[in-house]
Amino acid sequence: MNLPALEATARALAAQGIAVFRFNWRYFTAVPKGRPSEDLSNELKDLQAVVAAARQYPKVLAKSLSVGGKSLGSVVAWRAFAADASLRSALLLTPVCSRVPKGAAVPASEAQENYPAFEKEPRPTLAILGDKDPLCATPVLYRFAASGAVAPRLAIVGGDHSYENQALPPAEADAARARNIAAVSAIAASFVAEAASAVASAP
């Protein structure tokens, strides 16, 4: 939960008066540290428990809840979103949409496997990825998103799966990552705030 992109997004949302609930997976805090469950069912339960707790929090408008995650967390967030029609929007940071098979040069899509019906979801959805992310080739995600009647939002910033450019010298790499994460947090916070505002202002 302390990844730079998640911390920056949480701060940007809090600055707009939006409550943020972050947590670590149970396997991550286990002693010794474990691994994700094979089918991610344990991680889905973790996230759903946090959503349930958020709904009970007195200062949270339950009908405006959004859900989000980064990398593996984005896959779990999508499952929670798809299973709960009351969630307002989904934020997917560095989604896992493709991999380059061993011995191949062209990425193979894993988008439908990890985000089923992404291209058909009518509720607000945003994916933010780096332009050099080895786990989500932008052409793959563009094609997937454009394959349905509903157009989810996509935002492409610089960097890899951590929004970094490790080919740069250290000082330049740090500055580039800071710029990329600032862009991610601003875009993400604007999206979630817009979704929450639309619900709050509805009759």
pLDDT(201) > 80: no
pLDDT(203) > 60: no
Indicate whether 203 belongs to any domain: no
Indicate whether 37 belongs to any domain: yes
Task: Tell me how far apart the alpha carbons of residues 37 and 119 are, in angstroms, rounded to a whole number.
Answer: 26
Indicate whether 136 belongs to any domain: yes
Indicate whether 9 belongs to any domain: yes
What residues contact 44, with CB distance under 8 A and at least 6 apart? 76, 79, 80
Overall average pLDDT of the 26-55 stretch = 96
Overall average pLDDT of the 53-57 stretch = 95
Q: Which of 81, 87, 45 is nearest to 63 (CA)?
A: 87
Overall average pLDDT of the 69-79 stretch = 98
Per-residue pLDDT band at 200 (split at 50, 70, 90): low
Indicate whether 84 belongs to any domain: yes
> How many folded domains does the chain comprise?
1
pLDDT(113) > 60: yes
Q: In this predicted model, which residue has the larger pLDDT, 149 or 26?
A: 26
Please state the three-class secondary structure of the chain as a single string: CCCHHHHHHHHHHHCCCCCCCCCCCHHHHCCCCCCCCCCCHHHHHHHHHHHHHHHHCCCCCHHHCEEEEECHHHHHHHHHHHHCCCCCEEEEECCCCEECCCCCCCCEECHHHHCCCHHHCCCCEEEEEECCCCCCCHHHHHHHHCCCCCCCEEEEECCCCCCCCCCCCHHHHHHHHHHHHHHHHHHHHHHHHHHHHHHHCCC
CATH of the domain at 104: 3.40.50.1820
Q: Domain span at residue 59?
A: 4-198
Indicate whether 166 belongs to any domain: yes
pLDDT digits 0-9 by tens, 119-176: 889 999 999 999 999 999 999 999 999 887 777 899 999 999 999 999 999 999 999 9
Per the prediction, the chain carries an average pLDDT of 93
Overall average pLDDT of the 85-98 stretch = 97
